[in-house]
Amino acid sequence: MHFRAGLSLLAAGRRVLCLQRGRAMATEATFDTEPFQLHKLEAGPSNSVSVTRDEALKYYTSMQTIRRMETAAANLYKTRTVRGFCHLYSGQEAIAVGMEAVLSREDAVITAYRAHGWTYTRGVSILGVLAELTGRSTGCSKGKGGSMHMYGKNFYGGNGIVGAQVPLGAGIAFAMKYEGKQNVCVALFGDGASNQGQVYEAYNMSKLWDLPVIYVCENNGYGMGTSAHRSSASVDYFTRADYIPGIWVDAMDVLAVKSATEFSRKFALENGPILLEAATYRYYGHSMSDPGISYRSREEVQEVRETRDPITSFRDRLVTSELATADELKAIDNDVKKEVNEAAEKAKTDPELPLSELYTHIYHQPEPDMKVRGCDITVVGTMG
């Protein structure tokens, strides 16, 4: 396994002091990121990123919420409360949180099956995610979608077909340009999908039409159980779009992701598509049915947790820069844990949909008397 990411260095920043529990605290600090790598770009994102205390606490809380939510999902799966597939985002939280810090709610996001974290940052509640996993009516897709098919406002899922979301993302960006909107579409895929033919077809169309799309390869090192170096002749994914500019970013650093997204959003609106390679790592297996240690060692996973974890690294930065105290962050941890636990319990007991709902949401705006026949010809449902 080849890691190009490292812990970012704390830089001296301008600080305005405030009082927190009788103690002077910084209200803003500036940090240096790991250097970005560029493809077909003369200049790239800033390596110096400023963040206010309020912003920092928001990013920390969001990442911690996703981590706790995924832990709850894993526990629900282990007790067979969650059935079917379940792909967790643990370890990759800085990507969703860092990008969402820049995106507007009118920007669009479409991703693959590792969608829980993005569903949350796009505005779906913790219960909306966990209840969807348990098949309850309070789930964001009313319990009909499960782990891979979660949706929200300007969030187009959760897609189960490998790489299919990339051309769909190009289509969403085409619609935005056609309608004259000043918004972008973020289309995310994994390193395992990077060799799909449809990915390159989407690259080609989006560049021909200069669509406002940010392609993001979430390179967590493994496509299912195959390492990137065994599946790809070139693992410099940020260069793989050839004629489309690219950026490599340390995606274990939420501030580096934020800086790369700021640059990329502006670039996409002015020039067309851009490709980000977000170097990250997943702590669980490909899905919950994969123990994740047959193709990598426990020691490898533990080393990443100890040296590159996006949450603990950011926590250390906040304390060192005096943007927050250890006690304050501990209180956030406890509040998040309580909120997630309450949502998990509710996701176990909320009602399931009645059988009549099997026939709804099949067609858009069906006729009031439209009938749908099931596999059993004696069972007919009304779609109204």
pLDDT tens sequence across 23-40 = 678 899 999 999 999 999
Say if residue 20's pLDDT is above 60. Answer: no
Measure the CA–CA gap between 290 and 275, rounded to whole angstroms.
Answer: 29
Structure tokens at 10: 């704390």
The amino acid at 66 = I
Cα 358 to Cα 94, 143, 362, distances in angstroms = 37, 11, 9
Measure the CA–CA gap between 315 and 12, rounded to whole angstroms.
Answer: 17
Structure tokens at 88: 């967790």
3-state secondary structure of 271: helix
Report pLDDT digits (tens) over 297-319: 999 999 999 999 999 999 999 99
Structure tokens at 16: 């305005």
**What per-residue string of b and e applies to 240-276 under the rule 16 or more CB within 10 Å gives b?**
bbeebbbbbbbbbbbbbbbbbbbbbbebbeeebbbbb
The amino acid at 354 = P
Measure the CA–CA gap between 371 and 356, rounded to whole angstroms.
Answer: 12
Contact (CB, 8 A) for 221 and 300: no
The amino acid at 304 = V
Residue 1 binned pLDDT confidence (cut-offs 50, 70, 90): very low
Say if residue 379's pLDDT is above 90. Answer: no
**Cβ neighbours, 10 Å, residue 364:** 5
Within 8 A by CB and 6+ apart from 92, the residues are 114, 117, 218, 220, 251, 280, 281, 282
Measure the CA–CA gap between 340 and 353, rounded to whole angstroms.
Answer: 23
Length of the chain: 384
DSSP code of residue 213: E
Structure tokens at 41: 């770009």
Report pLDDT digits (tens) over 163-186: 999 999 999 999 999 999 999 999
Contact (CB, 8 A) for 171 and 125: no
Q: What are phi and psi of 64, to 5 degrees?
A: -65, -35
Structure tokens at 336: 């998040």
- Specify the pLDDT at position 14: 39
Burial of 302 (0-12, 13-18, 19+ CB in 10 A): exposed
Measure the CA–CA gap between 298 and 54, rounded to whole angstroms.
Answer: 36
Say if residue 19's pLDDT is above 70. Answer: no
Share of the chain above pLDDT 70, in %: 91
Closest CA to 311 of 99, 85, 62, 26: 62
Say if residue 189's pLDDT is above 60. Answer: yes
Q: Across the chain, what does the average pLDDT equal? A: 91
Predicted TM-score (pTM) of the model is 0.90
**Cβ neighbours, 10 Å, residue 79:** 8
- Specify the pLDDT at position 287: 85
